[in-house]
Amino acid sequence: ETGVTQSPTHLIKTRGQQVTLRCSSQSGHNTVSWYQQALGQGPQFIFQYYREEENGRGNFPPRFSGLQFPNYSSELNVNALELDDSALYLCASNHAGTDYGYTFGSGTRLTVV
């Protein structure tokens, strides 16, 4: 059991729509990161939240946004979906100050048509 759960597991959206992906972090983990993994590639860092504030962002446009809540849950929102947004979206949590062994969820497979 990974301790990090993501929902939904699969999702199909139409180009131009908006999507919200959800993550429930492992209890006690105050840091959550989101990654995008395209087919055949490694995960790419989207952003990280620490104590409900964004504290790091990768090379993704502003239409990718997030929220972290006090109950260890978080959201990834993507507006104006494009076909290239089709990917596996991974959530990872950790407790700041410990090692970098982030715990990943199983991901949400997003398909944009």
Per CB under 8 A, residues contacting another protein are 2, 4, 31, 33, 35, 40-45, 47-48, 50, 54-58, 90, 92, 94, 96, 99-107
Please, which residue, 24 or 94, has the CB nearer to another protein? Answer: 94
**Which residues, including other chains, have CB under 8 Å from residue 98's CB and lie 6 or more apart?**
none
The pairing of beta strand 108-112 with beta strand 10-13: parallel
Please, which residue, 17 or 106, has the CB nearer to another protein? Answer: 106
Q: Are 11 and 18 in contact (CB under 8 A)?
A: no
Please, which residue, 80 or 96, has the CB nearer to another protein? Answer: 96
Q: What are the two backbone dihedrals, phi and then psi, of residue 13, each rounded to the nearest 5 degrees?
A: -130, 160
Please, which residue, 12 or 15, has the CB nearer to another protein? Answer: 12
The H or E element that residue 113 is part of is none
Minimum gap (Å) between residue 2 Cβ and another protein:
6
Minimum gap (Å) between residue 65 Cβ and another protein:
15
Q: Environment class of residue 75 by beta-carbon count within 10 Å: exposed (0-12), middle (13-18) or buried (19+)?
A: middle
Minimum gap (Å) between residue 48 Cβ and another protein:
5
